A and B are shown apart, each in its own frame.
Chain A
């Protein structure tokens, strides 16, 4: 029995798990979408908008994009923690990535429900 003192903010395991769950969501969505598109005999504007006009497709596309953003936030934070040492620069990059991600999420809603 090894007893050790666990220190830290404890977000490591949670983020590790979220990164994998979002990865599975993205992989499933990508494979289904790519398969559907490759099987279409013709792909024009009507087929394309028809695909995205249903509520389920809009919902799953938004779920996919939110997964991308959360997944990317964890990944970029890991990269920044490894290679960017000055605290100020690190904070600036983190804030930028978070703000930009939130804007992308809002933009995605506008795109998906705005046509």
Chain B
């Protein structure tokens, strides 16, 4: 076997097809969610512990920066959720053809963004 196979990984030149883009976003959103986990656990702790910590948490979350961060986490969750459902469907052999795969990755991007806006608007 040729040990020195050429590699063409010029990331700035590679133009990913839409399903590939959704796949990368699936990884990024998953990593973001894991990194946000300690903050989310802390929020759960403050929200449950006592009425004082609950009100304290609400006051902190009222800050625009906190809202922006939560909106980011919400998008990461919704994108990961929608893209995850798409992968589960593909694993079950639904939507495997190229045209369907393209359409469903478009739907994942759109639905997760729309849901982020709708839920974000509802929460604030």
Interface of A, secondary structure class, is helix
| Interface membership of B91, Cβ < 8 A | yes
Neighbour of A45 across the interface among B27, B30, B51, B85, CB < 8 A: B51
Given contacts A27-B81, A45-B54, contact A107 B41 (CB under 8 A): yes
B84 surroundings in chain A (CB, below 8 A): 23, 27
Given contacts A20-B91, A104-B41, contact A52 B48 (CB under 8 A): yes
Question: Which B residues form the contact surface with A (CB < 8 A)?
Answer: 27, 30-31, 33-34, 37-38, 41, 44-45, 47-51, 54-55, 77, 81, 84-85, 88, 91, 122
With the chains together, A45 CA to B107 CA distance in Å?
36
| Interface membership of A13, Cβ < 8 A | no
Q: How many A-B residue pairs have CB under 8 A?
A: 49
Contact yes or no, B45 A76, CB < 8 A? no
B48 surroundings in chain A (CB, below 8 A): 48-49, 52, 111-112, 115
With the chains together, A79 CA to B77 CA distance in Å?
18
Determine how close the nearest CB of chain A comes to the CB of B25; give it in whole angstroms: 13
With the chains together, A114 CA to B51 CA distance in Å?
14
Contact yes or no, B30 A24, CB < 8 A? no
A27 surroundings in chain B (CB, below 8 A): 81, 84-85
| Interface membership of A59, Cβ < 8 A | no
Determine how close the nearest CB of chain A comes to the CB of B66; give it in whole angstroms: 18
Given contacts A23-B88, A48-B48, contact A104 B31 (CB under 8 A): no
A115 surroundings in chain B (CB, below 8 A): 48-50
* B44 to A, closest residue via Cβ: A111
Residue pairs across A and B with Cβ atoms less than 8 A apart, 29 shown, are A20-B88, A23-B84, A24-B88, A27-B81, A27-B84, A27-B85, A30-B77, A38-B122, A45-B54, A45-B55, A48-B47, A48-B48, A48-B54, A49-B48, A52-B48, A68-B37, A75-B30, A76-B31, A76-B34, A79-B27, A97-B34, A104-B37, A104-B38, A104-B41, A108-B41, A111-B41, A111-B44, A112-B48, A115-B50
